[in-house]
Amino acid sequence: MPIQLENLVKSIKSKVRALKKSKKPYIKMDKSASVRVEIRSRNARKLIDKTLQAADRPGKRVIS
C-alpha cells in the first residue's frame, strides 16, 4: 500500500510541475451571449447615470 501511495504522489507532483512550466495552465473560456448583454446593459446604465447627473447641473457641460 505505501508503494502505491508513493507512486500516486510522484505522478501528482510531476503533473503539477508540468502545469507550472506551461504558459497557460488553464483554458480561458469565452464570454457567453448573456454575459455580453449584461456587460452592455451595465455600461449603458453608467452612461445614463452620467448623463442624468450632467442634466441636473445645466451650468457645467462636462461629461467624462
Q: What are the pLDDT digits (tens) for 6-61?
A: 888 998 888 888 777 766 666 777 888 888 899 999 999 999 999 998 888 877 66
Note the pTM of the prediction, 2 decimals: 0.44
Is the torsion defined by CA of 8, 12, 13, 15 positive or negative?
positive
Number of domains in the chain: 1
Residue 64 near residue 58 (C-beta atoms within 8 A): no
Residue 62 lies in a domain: no
The C-alpha cell at 6 is 508513493
In a domain, 63, yes or no: no
Distance of CA 59 to the CA centre of its chain: 40
What domain range is 7 assigned to? 2-56
Residue 61 lies in a domain: no
Dihedrals phi, psi of 3, to nearest 5 degrees:
-70, -40
Would 64 be classed as within a structural domain? Answer: no
Asked whether residue 18 is assigned to any structural domain, the reply reads: yes
